[in-house]
Amino acid sequence: MTLLAQISDLHLRAGGLLACGRGDALRAARETLGYLLSFRPSLDALVLTGDLADRGEEGAYLELAELLRPFEIPLGLVPGNHDDRERAREIFGGLCPWAAETYPFLCWTRDLGKVGLIGLDVAQEGRVGGALAGKVANFLEKALSAFGERDCLVFLHQPPFRSGLGDMDGFPFVNAGQLSEIMGAYPRAVLACGHLHRGLASFWEGGRAICAPPVCLHMELDLTEKGGHRFTLGPPGFALYHYGEGLLNVHFASVPGDYPYAGPYYFSGPPAG
C-alpha cells in the first residue's frame, strides 16, 4: 500500500491574522498537519498544492515551514495564485528541491517506488488563472515518460477544466488543451489540483482529475453564473490517496475537531451587476 495526503489552500497570514477576515488559517494548518503527522498507517508523502499563504507574506511561510519540520517523509509544494514564488523558493527549498531546468517555475518529482509524484508550477504572476509554460510542459512530458507504466500523480494549483463555479471559470487556464493532450497519453496518471476550495472529481477530456478540499475557506456549492464568490467556515479538509493492489481510492476527508459551520461570506464583495 502507498498512502499520501494532499492539502491545499491554507491561506496563511503572518502573525495569525484571519484569512478574508474570518478564517482561522493558522489553527486550521496547525491542526491539519498535526493530524496528518500522527495518521496511521503513516503517510508515505505529503504534498501542498498552493495558496500556502494568502498574501505571500514571509511570516506566513516561516510559520508553515516550522509546522512542516517534524515530517520525515518526502514533501512536495507547488505555488498558487496567492503565493510569492521567490519567497517560497527561498523558504521551502530545503524541504522541496526544485528542478533546475524549469527555473523560475517551482517544479519537482518524487519517486515513491510504485507511485511517481510530479509537481508543476502553473501560477502566473498577478493572475488568478493558471498557465502551462513551455518549459513546464517539457518537464511534465519528460517526467511522465521517466515514470513509464507506473501510477503517477501530477500536482498543480489551478485545474485546467471548467468547474461550473461561475466566477472561477472566468479565469481560464492557458494551454489547457496542451495539458489535456499530454495527460491523455498517460491514462494511469491522475491530475491533483487545488484552487477551487472544493473537493471534487472530474473526468475531463485529459483523463482523471481531482481537486482537494481546502484547509481554509470552503467554497459554497453554487453552480449559477454568480457562483464562486462565497465561502463558508468548517473543518479543514484534505485528500488522501490510497494505492492498493490494482486500485487507487481518493478520500476527501476532514480533520476531526470542533469547527462550527458559518457563512456564506463573500471572498471580496458581491459580483458586479
**Residues in touch with Fe ion (CB under 5 A):** 9, 51, 80-81, 195
Nearest approach, Cβ of residue 152 and Fe ion (Å): 23
Nearest approach, Cβ of residue 51 and Fe ion (Å): 3
Nearest approach, Cβ of residue 197 and Fe ion (Å): 6
Provide the b/e sequence for 107-131 (b: ≥16 CB within 10 Å). bbbbebeebbbbbbbbbbeeeebbb
Nearer to Fe ion, 112 or 174 (CB): 174
Residue in 5, 3, 13, 10 with CA at minimum distance from that of residue 214:
10
Tell me the C-alpha to C-alpha distance, in Å, between residue 75 and each of 92, 110, 234, 246. Answer: 10, 9, 26, 25
Q: What is the DSSP letter of 215?
A: S
Nearer to Fe ion, 80 or 207 (CB): 80
Nearer to Fe ion, 9 or 31 (CB): 9
CA distance linking residue 115 with residue 42, whole number of Å: 16
Nearer to Fe ion, 19 or 45 (CB): 19
Interhelix angle for 58-68 vs 85-92, to 10°?
Answer: 30
Nearest approach, Cβ of residue 257 and Fe ion (Å): 21
Nearest approach, Cβ of residue 9 and Fe ion (Å): 4
Nearer to Fe ion, 80 or 236 (CB): 80
**Residue nearest to Fe ion as judged by C-beta position:** 51
Interhelix angle for 134-147 vs 176-184, to 10°?
Answer: 10
